[in-house]
Structure 1
Amino acid sequence: MLKETRGFDFTGYKRTTLTRRIGRRLEALKLRDYGEYRDYLELEPEEFGLLFDSLLINVTSFFRDAAAWQTLRETIVPALLSAKGPGRAIRVWSAGCATGEEAYSLAMVLADRLGLDAFRERVKIYATDLDEKALQVARTAVYTDRHLAEVPEATRRTYFEPVEGGFAFRRDLRRQLIFGRNDLTRDAPISRVDLLLARNTLMYFNTETQLNIVRKFHFALGNPGYLFLGKAEMLLNHGDKFEPVDLRMRLFRKVGPPVTGSRVPWPEEGTLVDPYAGDPALQSAALASGPVAQLVLDRSGNLAMVNSRAEALFNLTPSDIGRPFQDLEVSYRPAELRSVMDQVVADLRATELQDVTWRRPNTTETSSFDISVVPLVAAEGGELLGVGINFHDVTRYSRLRDELEQANRELEHAYEELQSLNEELETTNEELQSTNEELETTNEELQSTNEELETMNEELQSANDELQQINEVLNTRSAELDRANDFISSVVRSLGDAVIVVDGGLRVLVWSPGAEDLWGLRPEEAIGRQFTALDIGLPVEKVLPRLRSLIEAGLESGNGRMEGTVVDAVNRRGRTTRLGVSFSRLRAEDAPLHGVIMVMNLLPDE
């Protein structure tokens, strides 16, 4: 599901680790099986992030395993710089860099050795990981005091600058580090690197995937190239690719390709001794007593000579001397020698057949031979005299070799089991460390949450006190406002039968109870509306000029009053009524005009 929906292929990871880490999520979510978890992932996409954080265990620190880093500083870095020579670029790859601490640790080591200027000019560090979230932390390069606990104080002052939230790696040196996403199981490696860090990365993969990744590492490294692994990784079965520089500290050197040279030529054929020269009796005795089974054929392909070892081994008798070799059983058993002999005669070049297995007739014993077929030529002129066939019994060596191979296989198997156990232990240790860090983080978060809750409680208590004070003030002001309203109401009632107050735009501000009784409009129907738009029985055209004149005069008038007028109006009952209307400006002290007060009194009919 992860591969199909998210593009993450965890096939090469150890099954036990995956089972354990996914089990943690099942336990945390109180789910019973993987089916329920698949349904939960489909319903809750944000769970993918938490699952990846659990599977990709990002446990790292600055200068982790200090003794190994000291060996790297004192042994590997000087050898690497000496091999590169002055002025040449240095390329480094940190595979599985997590949040970047080890990449920055290496940057500090190289900067100390080269100097800051040479580091900026020559060094390029490529740091890769599968976890994009961890890479973002590495790119930011800001770490807290807890992260920098293993960094010496002098080194911290040299390479880190205080910023909000912690300490940031120096910006001018940070440009030499490039962080990017790389899946070691699928993506191509970074090439031509001089030093490769992959600390506690291989241990998460199964044996097949580890072999594939080690091949990529071998391809990525230049010559000479150095590999720095974690303490749980040993490369026991990769001696053809890497040799240990310091096995205890997990520092290895790439094994370069073998030096190729010209092929070693065959011996001069003219140096062979003619088997028919010299004392025939001496030759016969020497041939018969030889420990190696030997046959000699003449130029016609007939059996010319045979020694005692060959007679006993292949059941040959003196009567077989002179017979064509192809008619004898030994010509095709234990190996097909007729075509080989024809080839030797044609090329005049010796041929060897190695590790030929043969079970002798009427026995259960199996023997192994190395068979050499050699042309016999004359010392002078190079004329072919015959062919010699030698059967070297290598049964004992073959058995020893088989036993040695079996012992090596068992030893490799034991090493692999030991390596697997060691990696499992290291993985468990890192998981425990990760869990411990998570618990510490949770504890800090809980403590921080408790402090925040306590602060919020005090803030709420303070806000409650302030609200009580405001409430008391509001109660006092409300009582004062009620008294003021009662007073104003009494004043308004005392001014006349009806009181109307308008602002500078002739919008109604006050509509007294007398005005409501006279015109039949409630205050909520009149207040806020244009005075000229009210449907009442007052002849507005007689009142309006005086209102506008008073508003336009503004502050120019001294006492703020205007001579009143008498108008005939129709009250709410439809009866004609004479009204005396007086006008006064409404304004505060030393303030512009607020409006006009109109007081209307009923006059007796003439």
Structure 2
Amino acid sequence: MIPELLADKPEGYNLRIWIPGCSSGEEVYSLAIIIQECMNNARKNMTLQLFATDIDEDAVLTARTGLYPLSIAEDIHPERLKRFFKQEENRYRISKEIRETIIFASHDLIKDPPFIKVDMISCRNLLIYFENSLQKKISNLFHFSLLPNGILFLGPSESFGSNTNLYTVLNSKWKLYKRRDVISKVWANFLPNSSIITAAKARADLTSIVGSEKSVMINSIEKMLLENYTPPCFIVNEKGDIIYINGRSRKYFELATGEVSLNIATMVKEEMRYSLRAVLRQAAKTKEDITIEGVRVIINDEQVTLNFGVRPIEEPGALQGLILVIFEEVNAIPVDTPLSNIGDSSSNAVTRIDELENELKSTKVQLFRTIEEIELSYMETAAANEELHSANEELQSSNEEMETSREEMQSLYEEVVTVNNELQTKLNELAHSNDDMTNLLNSTEIAFIFLDSNLNIMRYTPLVPRLVNIIPSDVGRPLAHLVTKLRKTDIVREAQRILETYGHIEKEVETIEGVWYLMRLTPYRTSENMVAGVVVSFVNISKLKALNLLNTELRDRRDYAFSIIEAIGFPLLVLDGDFKVITANLDFYRVFQVTPLETEGTLISQLSKGRWNTRELEEKITTIITEGISSQSFLLDYEFPGDGNKKIYLDAYRINSKKPSADLILVIFKTEN
């Protein structure tokens, strides 16, 4: 059906669709997606505009947000889900491409004016809640709203019954209808009150009354005629439209050329038209019986004299407002008969003169009535002209006001467009800033929790679930409702202290898995420097903790090694690969009379003013380093100040490490006593 709807539309066409009773929007978005796909498949470059309305403002608000639970993935094809929806935490949001084609509005289908010039209306499962009279009204309303050949889509249990003359059935199973090009009267319900509209509605009301009470009225007419009249007669309304005909009356009528009419004043013989029209108007105004006598008409090429009268009907009540018109033939001497043929009788002559006088009197009465009616019509026309002139002035004034309003609206529209552009720019900047902030928070490997002044969760970063049992739907909930994974730490109490003191708190905390974090709590300040909550951050310090433990362990081992060195009862040196002194024991400082400042970091050849700068000592130590010998002993002469030369035994040991370049040399000195 949709491809057929698009087939005859030109490029650039604005396709308008109305969905009354849209509820929470599922039908609207589904229809928009299907039409968008059909337009893409047909390669039609058209604009799509859907008007989605509902009387429930809450439902309209829900539909306008376009957010739906993750469970919709079970009912939507994955390709459509990927193209037309975007996942946001635990919900799906309709894409911007589809959302911008839809206008949601609160609208009362029965009271508010309808949307017009639409190509399609989808009203499913709404009419079942209306009575037949409302369904008939809505049927006319939809017919008025649709363009020619527009499509109407109803629910499987709905139909318009007797109103299908407004539509052609396309598919009876799926309740698809096409608008027929017939007249609908729904427009009068949505226009302002005026005399023209009031008259039109009155005519419509009269027609509906005559139709609904036809059988009762006809029975009343026949009963009244049987009781009172036998001549040919007619029942007409105040305008002369024939309601009922009694007796053989064909000879009194003469069909006029042009548009067919059932008005008695246009159907009777020409000789009676003006007189009959005049007395009908007078009888309708005065509610009095009126009789016209001696009217001569030509019937079947013969001149006939008629008396006709009009009588407003008061009883029975069903016929009030109608008028009875009676035709009665009377004997008369033809006007064109010569007097010589009548005879010499004086009585016949007097009769002829009386007839002529009566006819003249009747003609004068009719002329007088006609003149009165013309004068009255002139006065009414003058009054109507004054009213029209006044209405024209009012319309002119209204037109000027509307023109002024239009200019103001145009100016306001331009301002709104400008403000909208500024807001769009700000929105883009805000979205960019939000993206920057999100990427910054995610790249710092720091867990952040943002709390408001009531300690409710406003936002959190992806690392927070490692410390707190939290899910996306917990945003807005108090932090006190959640369970943390920290040992002996009450975040809520610490955050409450921040709100009370506006200070800062830092402390190391441990999770139940043994991971250490540095917890920092600071006030959440607004751009006006107002405290509006608390920011809680967690920095992983497990590596730092491990490093500190390692340093402590190394320090303990170093102290242990130094204790061993000090416990040895001989002078002792520890050299690195470059023969620099790393450390020495107290016996070394005592025996050779040097200080730690002079010794540590100094080459062995420079100790004691160069006394150790011998070729033999350098070769022995170099041999240990280069050839990988684990130990070596040798004897050297050393000159002690004041004591002279003494023999010194040196035991050099290689201390291996994981890296050969970091090997050390332990040198033990033994002197002769």
Q: Under a length normalisation based on structure 1, what TM-score does the superposition of the two structures give? A: 0.34
Relative contact order (C-alpha < 8 Å, sep 6+): which is higher? 1
Q: Under a length normalisation based on structure 2, what TM-score does the superposition of the two structures give? A: 0.31
Name which one, 1 or 2, has greater alpha-carbon Rg: 2
